[in-house]
Structure 1
Amino acid sequence: MRIINSRRLVTVLAFLLIASVLLLVFRKSNVNNIHDPAQSPSSPLSQPPSLATIPKAIHQTYKTATLADWAKEEGKNNRTLWFLSWQQKNPSYSHTVLNDKAADEFIAANFDKETQTAWAKMPLPVLKADLLRYAMLYIHGGIYSDSDTECLQPIDSWYGPYESASFIASVEWYKDSHNFDVPMYKKTQLVQWTFGASPRHPALLATINDIVQKVSFASIAYLSSKKNVEAIGGPQVLTRHVLEYMKSHGDDLDSLQKADDDKGRMYFKKSRVLLLPMFSFMAQLAPERLDPVIAAKKKSQESTLFVNHHFAGTYLDNGWKN
């Protein structure tokens, strides 16, 4: 029978022990350090976020980006009035509208090759529109709003006493508020046609990485199907990452129920997330807009109807769903 040299055995065991420790350290470092796709690592913005307040900046996107171009579309929609409403209601805010060419340049200038490759791979404009809104706010911070939205009240009034918020969104629907037997309607969902965040917000970083990973591994056939759009980068994706971010700070979005108080704002101090009640960003559908009895009851209350969403990019003949 062959006898194993004790010194050699000790050496092998020591090597295995060291390898195990290194593997654990490597795994832990990967968990705690999420890939940041933004370029220029020496930039101050690339440092761990201090989560400052949300900057006074409005970001939008559209195929054209000038008043002259928008005016040519009059009669088809009120795009000019919608865009100008953001400037008129918020004169102290900067207002940026990126057209398609500028969007390509923005991604190329601010994100790594992996993100650029995913961007170029996307066959549907709506997929790019979803990624772009997260990317713009991740780099610059501020308020994003779709091109078919109209600002009704100054952005500063949205916050109420919660100016220290680092993320702001409106509830699209509350948990179990729909009777449809569909999993997505069993959870609270946030609006992503209008929302705001501080630069380098972790929830946006996680959302961007999620989209890039999905696109990188998905087939063109999968990415070309409109039925997959919302699962790739839509509101359910953003909501999930905001939920995870809140939970990491000891707050729980799942505990959010229908609010029926005077204002309906809900501020989570630990995560500094401010959630506005339903209809805040789709005011034209609010009960008080449709029912004069409800309107009379709420007349003395502070209005949280801040934005009209005209759904021109969704359900109209040329909307992405059609």
Structure 2
Amino acid sequence: MWASRKAIVAALVLVTLFFLLRHTSSPSTSVRTAGTTGTSPSDQKSPSESHPPPPQTPPKANPIQQIVNDISSKPLRTRLAYYFPYEIEGKFPGYVWQTWKVGPASGAFEDHLRPLEASWTEKHPGFVHEVITDQAAEPLIRYLFASVPEVAEAYSAMPLPVLKADFFRYLILLARGGIYTDIDTEALKSAAEWLPERLDHSSVGLVIGIEADPDRPDWAEWYARRIQFCQWTIQAKAGHPILREIVAAITEKTLELKRQGLLKHGRTPTSISVMEYTGPGIWTDIVFNYFNNHEYFEFDAKYQNITVQDFFNIQEHKKVGDVVVLPITSFSPGVGQMNAGEPDHPMAFVRHDFEGSWKPEKEQTH
């Protein structure tokens, strides 16, 4: 009897233990089901365990971005030389650039300018001829000089149309090359005839003309320089060092005037004249500085420098380094002074109407 009771008690104990063990094991089973299939409890990581982050690989340097960063820290002239390189061996670009208040397609374009503007297309049929309006000029300069933003800032800060017109010619030739000519000029001959056939055109990067050669004691009352180079018509290959220098000089001067608060809209800066700021005065000085720059020219003991006397009364082309200087007849025929020939002269290439449309109305000539 006792033995059977013991057997019954033992059976009850075993049944109780079975249910107890089953109850305590069910949570781990649910964890495995929710976790990764096939993992055991020993493989599960405790939620409180920290996981070290994966090792970080430093990003690879972008060589192009590195070059841009290096160039952006360089002086203005260095950046201009980098972004607008000068290649003398190439041909002169086939562009004719002009600026005016409106384009030729506008009804507001003056009738007396139409035959002058058309002469450039007629004499250069294979060229791209663009008349850039005042409205389009500033966005174009911002685009061309986006990599050198202080240049566009200087252009925008200029308070007078004449200053912007002067600056624009240097900027467009530096960036694109070709021919810049004022809207009141007439092409008498194609630019293909401006240089003599015997001259190697791959050795020429800039073509300019003499505007003034006044052999009179009061010359300073009429002109900025004794020998004055014309800037109403210029032919250039993009990136020429003279263009680079004048763009840098005008940019620096403009931003300095801006910092001093001397640029007032509609007024000429009191500290400097237009002739010296952007016109033929500074243009002539920079050309002569280039002629005498040992970085570009070698000089011997007998011939140290080039002066205005080297250009008195010249009657034909004169080449100095990579620059060809044309006599006064070439871009100023028919002026009736300074030994200039008439428009039918063989060396007459461009006739200037001297309208002076940027001047006050009482000072304009028609």
TM interval, short-chain normalised: 0.7 to 0.9
Q: Does the 8 A contact of 2:96 with 2:128 survive in 1?
A: yes
Offset of residue 145 of structure 1: 0.2
1:156 to 192, 196, 200: 192
Quickly say closer, same or farther: Cα 1:88–1:286, change in 2 above 3 A. Answer: farther
Give SS of 1:275's match. Answer: strand
- 2:238 aligned with 1:199: yes
Offset of residue 241 of structure 1: 1.4
Query: What are the residue-to-residue correspondences of 1:23-102 with 2, within 5 Å?
Result: 34-37=77-80, 46=83, 48-51=85-88, 52-69=90-107, 73-74=110-111, 78-102=112-136
Give SS of 2:110's match. Answer: coil
Q: Does the 8 A contact of 2:211 with 2:228 survive in 1?
A: yes
Offset of residue 275 of structure 1: 0.6
- Alignment RMSD: 3.3
Partner of 1:173: 212
User: Normalising by structure 2, what TM-score?
Assistant: 0.65
Q: Deviations over 1:49-103 (max 9, x none)?
A: 2223422211111111233436x522xxx11111100000111222111111220
Offset of residue 289 of structure 1: 10
Quickly say closer, same or farther: Cα 1:179–1:130, change in 2 above 3 A. Answer: same
Partner of 2:156: 120
Partner of 2:170: 134
Partner of 1:214: 253
Partner of 1:238: 283
Q: Deviations over 1:259-293 (max 9, x none)?
A: 455xx11112xx21101101311223156999xxx
Quickly say closer, same or farther: Cα 1:319–1:213, change in 2 above 3 A. Answer: farther
- 2:329 aligned with 1:279: yes
Q: Does the 8 A contact of 1:281 with 1:306 survive in 2?
A: yes
Q: Does the 8 A contact of 1:283 with 1:289 survive in 2?
A: no
Partner of 1:305: 348
Quickly say closer, same or farther: Cα 1:140–1:35, change in 2 above 3 A. Answer: same
Partner Cα separation in structure 1 for residue 280 and residue 164 of structure 2: 14
Higher alpha-carbon Rg: 2
Partner Cα separation in structure 2 for residue 240 and residue 222 of structure 1: 27
Q: Does the 8 A contact of 2:215 with 2:338 survive in 1?
A: no
Quickly say closer, same or farther: Cα 1:68–1:166, change in 2 above 3 A. Answer: same
Give SS of 1:204's match. Answer: helix
Partner of 1:3: none
Q: Does the 8 A contact of 2:184 with 2:355 survive in 1?
A: yes
Q: Does the 8 A contact of 2:163 with 2:278 survive in 1?
A: yes
Partner of 2:317: 265
Offset of residue 37 of structure 1: 4.6
Counterpart residue type for residue 274 of structure 2: V
Partner Cα separation in structure 2 for residue 212 and residue 47 of structure 1: 16
Q: Does the 8 A contact of 1:267 with 1:275 survive in 2?
A: yes
Partner Cα separation in structure 2 for residue 316 and residue 34 of structure 1: 32
Give SS of 2:346's match. Answer: coil
Partner Cα separation in structure 2 for residue 215 and residue 260 of structure 1: 35
Indicate the larger mover: 160-169 or 87-96.
Answer: 160-169
Q: Does the 8 A contact of 2:187 with 2:349 survive in 1?
A: yes
Partner Cα separation in structure 2 for residue 320 and residue 59 of structure 1: 26
Gaps of 5+ in 1: 1-28
In percent, how many aligned pairs have the same letter? 26
Offset of residue 220 of structure 1: 1.7
Partner of 2:306: 252
User: Normalising by structure 1, what TM-score?
Assistant: 0.73
Partner Cα separation in structure 2 for residue 67 and residue 153 of structure 1: 24
The number of residue pairs the alignment matches comes to 271
Partner Cα separation in structure 2 for residue 126 and residue 315 of structure 1: 6
Give SS of 2:153's match. Answer: helix
Partner of 1:19: none
